Amino acid sequence: MWGVWKSFWTWKQNWLCYLVVLIFFLLGAGLGMFAANNLSPEQLAEIHGYLDAFLIQMERFQIDSTKAARSILHENIIVISVIYFLGLTFVGIPFILALILVRGFILGFAVSCLSKAMSWPGFILAVVSLFPHNFIYLPALVVGGVTAISFALFTFKLHGEYRARLWSCVLGYTAVMLMVMAVTLGAGLIEAYFSPWLTRLAAGFIQTSFFSELIRSN
């Protein structure tokens, strides 16, 4: 049974799927950066105003981590479940790639937008608020996407006497996707409990550095 599980996500057997998924993710990130770089000066000024207000209020703002965790975990379960069901049919492959592209777009847009609106403080804010959980979430998402695409291709090529293997392969596919979901849930807990704390520390540092520069410049 382990051989069935392993065949769905190992690099050696699915390197082309990994390459395609990574290309779609990077394409989405590139499109997100392009969209952020083409924001009008008025839009950037508005974003800058929101970020300034956020930095000022961040130290006093109390986040309900339990409520945030519940929302994030629910969202992660939905995303992986959708990828799982899309992987049950060959027709679902384009939609899986579209989900990967959208995730890349969101991340690329957020990082580029924060960096462009606030220069290095915005980049620091993007790193501490987005990267800790995505460092775990994104690899799991890629593995989940590759697993689903690999299974969809497997069922498309399945015929005749090989159909007897289908149920054991479904069990293997389900087991791998459950492991992927467990990892994304772990990333969700980091996003809910650790990232806000780190963001609050960064906000205090940025605010102090920003006002110190203002004092020196005057």
* pLDDT at residue 7 tops 90: no
CA–CA separation, 125 vs 73, rounded Å?
Answer: 23
Can you spell out the DSSP letters for 3-65? HHHHHTT-HHHHHHHHHHHHHHHHHHHHHHHHHHHT--HHHHHHHHHHHHHHHHHHTTPPP-H
* Predicted local confidence at residue 8, as pLDDT: 54
CA–CA separation, 112 vs 36, rounded Å?
Answer: 6
Instruction: Measure the N-to-C terminal CA separation of the chain; round to a whole number of Å.
Output: 70
* pLDDT at residue 19 tops 80: yes
Domain residue ranges of the chain, discontinuous segments joined by +: 2-24+66-96+120-217
* pLDDT at residue 54 tops 80: no
Beta carbons of 9 and 176 less than 8 angstroms apart = yes
Q: What average pLDDT does the segment 43-53 reach?
A: 76
Q: What average pLDDT does the segment 128-136 reach?
A: 91
Whether the full predicted model's pTM is greater than 0.75, yes or no, is yes
Beta carbons of 96 and 145 less than 8 angstroms apart = yes
